[in-house]
Amino acid sequence: MIQQRVAAWQSLDWHEELAAAVRDPHELAALLDLSLSDLGISDSANAQFPLRVPRPYIARMARGDPRDPLLRQVLPAHAELIAAPGYGEDPLEERAANPIPGLIHKYFGRVLLILSPACAIHCRYCFRRHFDYAANTPGRARWQAALDYIRRDASISEVIYSGGDPLAAGDPLLAWLTEQLAAIPHLMRLRVHTRLPVVIPARINAECLAWLTGTRLQTSLVLHVNHANELDSTVATAVGLLRGSGVTVLNQSVLLAGVNDCADRLTQLSERLFAAGILPYYLHLLDRVQGAAHFAVEPARALSLHRVMRARLPGYLVPRLVEEVPALPYKRPVN
Ligand code: SF4
């Protein structure tokens, strides 16, 4: 049954969808029945972190609405150029936890591997928008240093594929690395942090499912969805393939002003996630990355929104409200 569903899905080529992502503001405006002045794109912000948005994601935006919550997440805005106190290029101080190129070791028992510098979509609030990917994307030969690091530390039980978007890396590399990791006896789990199955659902194809499920490691996939409108039947199909293959699927969102800072929207997001087979995991306060301050929601307001969610939803649909504090070895609950 799963094989039949994967075969039907194969007619869509994720590489083509990735290459066809919209980078031209004029084209984006035309696709949304808007004028360029409606969008209000800042050329300088676009030069610093270029517009990139895949067409399946654009298809879920409302036509004629410059305030659409999905559009807002990808539009280079003038506000990004305004310096804000307390906001910097490395808000989580990851440089201090980067002992080997491509590997970040910040939390006990877990390491993160930067599999790809690329993303299918450029989210304006991304905490890694200034990350030094050039120094952190080793070729296959140089992954040996990261593998040796993991082999030497028996306290590490979980590896997290990150990026950029790790699924922007090709399946041959992902399959090879997963095989290498599975041969390390103290590793138990593999987690993949990705937005690709949301913005290009065809990314979940037979090759991807093969390495994700053909390993002794317990696998989970943490998606990144901020608004219920990001979920449609194509995303649900991709999630169904993952779950049907035994992969646990979770979601983390970022609380973003003008996108989801509303109790109704957050409640609907949790309900829509669960309907698509995804469990809400984290709701993050914005990381203080330079260029994203206009998305910030005050902690007190975040807490009051979260209280409404708790009152409206069963406990398993209420994500943990957390913030990253650079010096702490865990995400700090906001309460
Ligand atoms: S997909 Fe993730 S890593 Fe890539 S720009 Fe968006 S938030 Fe950042």
What pLDDT shows up at residue 113? 95
Q: Which atom of ligand 1 is nearest to the CA of 254?
A: 7
- Digit-coded pLDDT (tens) for 68-102: 999 999 999 999 999 999 999 888 888 888 888 89
> Per-residue confidence at 295, pLDDT binned at 50, 70, 90?
very high
Q: Angle CA(293)–CA(232)–CA(57) in degrees, nearest 5?
A: 50
What pLDDT shows up at residue 329? 84
The Cα-based distances of 315 to 279, 299, 310 in angstroms read: 11, 21, 7
> Per-residue confidence at 3, pLDDT binned at 50, 70, 90?
low
Q: Is the pLDDT of residue 229 over 80?
A: yes
Q: How far is the CA of 224 from the centre of ligand 1 (A)?
A: 9
**Helix axes of 206-213 and 171-182: crossing angle, nearest 10 degrees:** 10
Report d(CA 70, CA 67) in Å as an integer. Answer: 9
pLDDT above 70 coverage of the chain, percent: 96
> Per-residue confidence at 127, pLDDT binned at 50, 70, 90?
confident
Q: Lowest-confidence range among 108-117, 250-259, 323-332? A: 323-332
Ligand 1, atom 3: closest residue by C-alpha: 164
Report d(CA 93, CA 333) in Å as an integer. Answer: 19
What pLDDT shows up at residue 210? 97
- Half-sphere exposure (CA, 13 Å, Cβ side) for 134? 1
What pLDDT shows up at residue 260? 98
Q: Which atom of ligand 1 is nearest to the CA of 164?
A: 3
Q: Does residue 270 come out as left (phi exceeding 0), alpha (psi in the -120 to 50 range) or beta?
A: alpha
Identify the residue with better confidence: 88 or 270: 270
What pLDDT shows up at residue 6? 63
Longest alpha-carbon distance in the chain: 57
Report d(CA 321, CA 251) in Å as an integer. Answer: 13
Ligand 1, atom 7: closest residue by C-alpha: 126
Q: How far is the CA of 309 from the centre of ligand 1 (A)?
A: 25
What pLDDT shows up at residue 71? 97
Ligand 1, atom 6: closest residue by C-alpha: 123
* Best of 18, 114, 119, 162 for a ligand 1 pocket test (most atoms within 8 Å of beta carbon): 119
> Per-residue confidence at 7, pLDDT binned at 50, 70, 90?
low
Q: Does residue 285 come out as left (phi exceeding 0), alpha (psi in the -120 to 50 range) or beta?
A: beta
329 in Cβ contact with 107 (< 8 Å): yes
Q: Is the pLDDT of residue 285 over 90?
A: yes
The whole-chain average pLDDT of the chain stands at 93
Q: Which residues line ligand 1 (CB under 6 A)?
A: 119, 121-123, 126, 128, 163-165, 195, 224
What pLDDT shows up at residue 294? 96
Q: What is the pTM of this model?
A: 0.94
**Helix axes of 299-312 and 263-275: crossing angle, nearest 10 degrees:** 50
Q: How far is the CA of 327 from the centre of ligand 1 (A)?
A: 23
**Mean pLDDT to the nearest integer, 32-53:** 94
What pLDDT shows up at residue 141? 74
Best-predicted range by mean pLDDT among 10-14, 150-154, 331-335?
150-154
- Digit-coded pLDDT (tens) for 242-256: 999 999 999 999 999
What pLDDT shows up at residue 2? 62
Q: Angle CA(128)–CA(134)–CA(137) in degrees, nearest 5?
A: 85
pLDDT above 90 coverage of the chain, percent: 83
Q: Which two tokens stand for residue 147?
A: 């593998």
**Mean pLDDT to the nearest integer, 54-63:** 97
Q: Is the pLDDT of residue 304 over 70?
A: yes
Q: Is 313 exposed, middle or buried (0-12, 13-18, 19+ CB in 10 A)?
A: middle
Q: Nearest 5°: phi and psi at 125?
A: -95, 5
